[in-house]
A and B are shown apart, each in its own frame.
Chain A
Amino acid sequence: MLRDITIGQYYQADSVIHELDPRVKLLGTFAYVISVFIFRNIPGFVLMTAFIVLCIALSKVPFKYMVKGLKAIVLILVLTGFVNLFLTPGAPVFEWKFIAISKQGIYNTAYMMTRLIYLVIGTSLMTLTTTPTRLTDGMETGLGFLNKIKVPVHEISMMMSIALRFIPILIEEADKIMKAQMARGADFESGNIIKKAKSMVPLLVPLFVSAWRRAGDLAMAMEARCYNGGEGRTRMKPLRYCARDRIAYLILLAYMALMIVLRVLF
């Protein structure tokens, strides 16, 4: 169950998308997220879909990996869908007892659901094709200007890359603890939501303790390998833009321009 979470997982493949500069991918994802929120008609939807389908095809990541990421947000999807569908005011097109669905409600639901789904697919495409180190490298270099206003960019990106690296380890550990507790008669499946939440406590406490211990160990290992903050560090894989990245920026620019035009014109 827990092993299905793919957020922050890297999928190794040899593709154009994988080789793009992480700064391009970060900015691209950011732009895509914006475009997902500005679309409001069919042509926009078509363009948005075409763009992501093209990216996925180029990335050579199997589509089922994207869908796996969606599983984690099923509950949110259903909830937003429900709220939008039944609670949007307007002239009802369907009425049964106290339930009323308006035309606006149907539209809102469709928009919201598509937005959420595309949001998750777009961002998981980025994390699936970029190693956590490259991603944080991209953030560190791309957001380096924030250093001037005393934002500890290096520290934040180091923390993020470590967090990403430990997600699979902690998931595996949670799985192990869960099985150990189940072997001793713990029940994680039955009961109502409150009972289920309560049954998580014996899972979370040992997981939390072990995360602390790991953090201590890792800090010691980093110090032993001369880690001394961002100052004076060199890069094994420094970021340099090449032709491919410039083309990607152009494509991105064209895409955003089209999306805006489609919104304004139609």
Chain B
Amino acid sequence: MSIIKALKLTHEYIHRDDEGNVDSIETALDGVDLDIAEGDFIAILGHNGSGKSTLAKHMNVILSPSDGTMWVDGKDTKDEEKLWEIRQAAGMVFQNPDNQIIAGIVEEDIGFGPENIGIPTSEIWTRVDNALSAVHMEKYRNHSPNKLSGGQKQRVAIAGVIAMRPKCIILDEPTAMLDPVGRREVIDTITELNKKEGITIILITHYMEEVVNADKVFVMDHGKIVMQGTPRQIFSDIKTLKEHHLDVPQITLLAHELKEAGLNIPDGVLTEEELLHILCQLS
């Protein structure tokens, strides 16, 4: 069953001058068709300005389509009555960890979402406990978010979303402001959530290494989805990726260069172990 579906989804940012006349129209999404199955780990790639963040904001109804339709969990995002249900089903984690934590104590912040949707007090506590253990932050429940590292803050933000029991979590470049350790923490956390709890993950990123374990990858450019497939399929086509200003993981690039140099290596090698294995068999 599909959890998120888009049909000819279009979004235009209309810039107006001081008198309110239309100055210019910027098409951020241009007829996007998308179908995401429940329980998948999806990655959306694209360089800056490719429309990937705009797409994410549609999934949480922060933006509403200029044209076309988007369904989240079977509900049309243009239906205002369903707004809160959709936001509950599709939680969102943003880029800057500081700007999305509302409360001054970790557990209170995680309780913020459930409070908003009117969950009874005792149930909020169970949800907060579960969410804390899902992201392995039990030790920090009474800490101030200001004293946590970037990766930990982002995990708190993820826990805040989990406490609302969403079917899918959309992460808009959650690792862009983190150091390598923090990035690892966040990616491990969401991978575990996907595998153990079966939550659909939609990860928007421009770090190629984070995409390797995804079930499906979408590549966006100029507001359109230009490539889609498994990571292996996507990274096999280095030429097209370069055309859309994207890199491939270093190890894939190395394998590709070796192949160009005449070694018998297949396309789309994703991990070090894989390349090592292939090289050992060669000799």
Interface residues, chain A, with chain B CB atoms under 8 Å away: 10, 12, 131-133, 161-162, 164-165, 168-169, 214, 217-218, 220-228, 232-238
Given that A225-B116, A225-B161, A226-B164 are contacting pairs, would A10 and B87 also be in contact in the complex, using a CB cutoff of 8 Å?
A: no
Q: Establish whether residues A10 and B144, one from each chain, have CB atoms under 8 Å apart when the complex forms.
A: yes
Nearest CB of chain A from residue B142's CB, rounded to whole Å = 7
**Contacts A225-B113, A227-B116, A236-B108 known; 11 new A-B pairs at CB < 8 A:** A10-B104, A131-B108, A133-B108, A214-B96, A214-B99, A217-B100, A221-B102, A225-B161, A226-B113, A236-B111, A238-B121
Interface centre among B104, B112, B144 (most CB of A within 10 A): B104
Q: Establish whether residues A225 and B96, one from each chain, have CB atoms under 8 Å apart when the complex forms.
A: no
> In the complex the two chains form, what is the Cα distance from A164 to B113 in whole Å?
20
A-B contact pairs, 12 of them (CB 8 A): A132-B103, A165-B102, A168-B146, A169-B98, A169-B146, A214-B98, A222-B102, A224-B94, A225-B113, A226-B113, A228-B116, A233-B115
Chain A residues with CB under 8 Å of B104's CB are 10, 131-133, 161, 164-165
Q: Establish whether residues B116 and A224, one from each chain, have CB atoms under 8 Å apart when the complex forms.
A: no
Q: Establish whether residues A224 and B62, one from each chain, have CB atoms under 8 Å apart when the complex forms.
A: yes
Interface residues, chain B, with chain A CB atoms under 8 Å away: 60, 62, 84, 87-88, 91-92, 94, 96, 98-105, 107-108, 111-121, 124-125, 128, 142-144, 146, 160-161, 164
Other-chain residue from B84, B98, B105, B142 in contact with A133 (beta carbon distance below 8 A): B105
Other-chain residue from A131, A164, A223, A236 in contact with B114 (beta carbon distance below 8 A): A236
> In the complex the two chains form, what is the Cα distance from A14 to B119 in whole Å?
28
> In the complex the two chains form, what is the Cα distance from A235 to B62 in whole Å?
25
> In the complex the two chains form, what is the Cα distance from A105 to B217 in whole Å?
78
Chain A residues with CB under 8 Å of B103's CB are 132-133, 161, 165
> In the complex the two chains form, what is the Cα distance from A169 to B91 in whole Å?
25
Given that A131-B105, A217-B94, A228-B84 are contacting pairs, would A234 and B99 also be in contact in the complex, using a CB cutoff of 8 Å?
A: no
Q: Establish whether residues A234 and B121, one from each chain, have CB atoms under 8 Å apart when the complex forms.
A: yes
> In the complex the two chains form, what is the Cα distance from A214 to B95 in whole Å?
12
